[in-house]
Amino acid sequence: MSYCIRPAEFQDLQSIQTLYNHEVLNGMATWNSEAKDLAHFNAWFQQLRQNHFPLFVIETEQSHEIIGFADYSTFRAITGFSNTVEHSVFIAPQYAGLGVGTKLLKHLIAHAKAQGLHIMVAAIDHENIGSIRLHEKLGFKQTGYMPEVGQKFGKWRDLVLMQLCLSDSSKLE
């Protein structure tokens, strides 16, 4: 099967909402515990655009079904962190393990490099071994482990922090 990655458009937000809310209700890719409405995604999309941050979707070339999305945005709202971003990647469960996440994350990394960013951060649930392995495969290094910093489904969750250097560390921008 072949896929197409493109910038998200407003009409994609309902598909993005469906993918995200599936993880809210069933998975660990987000520790949010309540599904988000379309107004939330509209505001989020507007904020990403205003701040010149990307939102990409990956769709099947045959049916144009959106099967995943990825974005990055501010890591911390302090000027010293302006060249560091945190990203998210969400893939429909039936497409997990088929290389879709790899394609999408590679695209996101290339975009961040083209924007001249320095570091990309991933914050991953410690039991999401597939995501941890994907990030390792693409050069991310584990730089932190935070036990019991969040909750989901009535259990304390540990957070794995990983990062990828996108630029030459010897040069300040």
In the structure, what pLDDT confidence band is assigned to residue 40 with cuts at 50, 70 and 90? Answer: very high
The reported pLDDT for the residue numbered 172 is: 55
- Domain assignment present for 101: yes
The reported pLDDT for the residue numbered 168 is: 77
In the structure, what pLDDT confidence band is assigned to residue 43 with cuts at 50, 70 and 90? Answer: very high
Question: What is the domain-level CATH number for residue 79?
Answer: 3.40.630.30
- Domain assignment present for 28: yes
- Domain assignment present for 173: no
Q: What is the Cα–Cα distance from 42 to 39, expressed in whole angstroms?
A: 5
What integer best gives the mean pLDDT of the chain? 95
Span 146-160, average pLDDT? 97
Q: What is the Cα–Cα distance from 115 to 106, expressed in whole angstroms?
A: 14
End-to-end CA distance of the chain: 41
pLDDT higher than threshold 70 for residue 169: no
- Domain assignment present for 103: yes
The reported pLDDT for the residue numbered 1 is: 80
Span 102-110, average pLDDT? 98
> How confident is the model over 14-29, as pLDDT tens digits?
999 999 999 999 999 9
- Domain assignment present for 171: no
pLDDT higher than threshold 70 for residue 173: no
> How confident is the model over 66-97, as pLDDT tens digits?
999 999 999 999 999 999 999 999 999 999 99
- Domain assignment present for 125: yes
Number of domains in the chain: 1
Task: Give the range of the structural domain holding residue 107, as residue numbers without chain letter.
Answer: 3-165
- Domain assignment present for 104: yes
Whether 32 and 88 have beta carbons less than 8 Å apart is answered as no
- Domain assignment present for 135: yes
Span 45-70, average pLDDT? 96
The reported pLDDT for the residue numbered 47 is: 97
Q: What is the Cα–Cα distance from 129 to 97, expressed in whole angstroms?
A: 12
